[in-house]
Amino acid sequence: MNKIMFFAHLRDHVGEESVTKDASGKTIAELKQLLSEEYGLKLDTVMAAVNEEFASDDEVIQDGDTVAFIPPVSGG
């Protein structure tokens, strides 16, 4: 299983800090597509992180990985 984390407007939209899903074997792009359909999220300009490191769209998710969606940041 995988922990999927949301931040900023994504968190507000989904209404959860994280959800648990089996995403193993899927690419980030495939997971984005799935979540877009399930929650009506717009994820095409959103970065992903796998286990706290930025990940590209073609990275394949392993069982146990934590996936986070990172909207454009605005710290500082």
Partner 1 sequence: MNFEISKEPIDIQSVIDKVVQREAGAITTFIGTVRELTHGKKTLYLIYEAYEAMAVKKLEQIGKEIKERWDGAEVAITHRTGKLDITDVAVVIAVSTPHRADAYEANRYAIERIKEIVPIWKKEHWEDGEEWIGNQLETVAYPEGKPEAKDLNE
Asked whether position 37 contacts partner 1 by CB under 8 A, the answer is no
User: Whats the size of the chain, residue-wise?
Assistant: 76
Q: Sheet containing 2-5: which strands, arranged edge to edge?
A: 18-21, 2-5, 66-70, 47-50, 53-55
Q: Shortest gap between Cβ of 38 and partner 1 (angstroms)?
A: 21
Distance CA 62, CA 66 (A): 9
58 counts as binding partner 1 under rule CB under 8 A: no
The one among 22, 54, 63, 64 contacting partner 1 by CB under 8 A: 54
**Contacts (CB under 8 A) with partner 1, residues 3-22:** 5, 7-9, 11-12
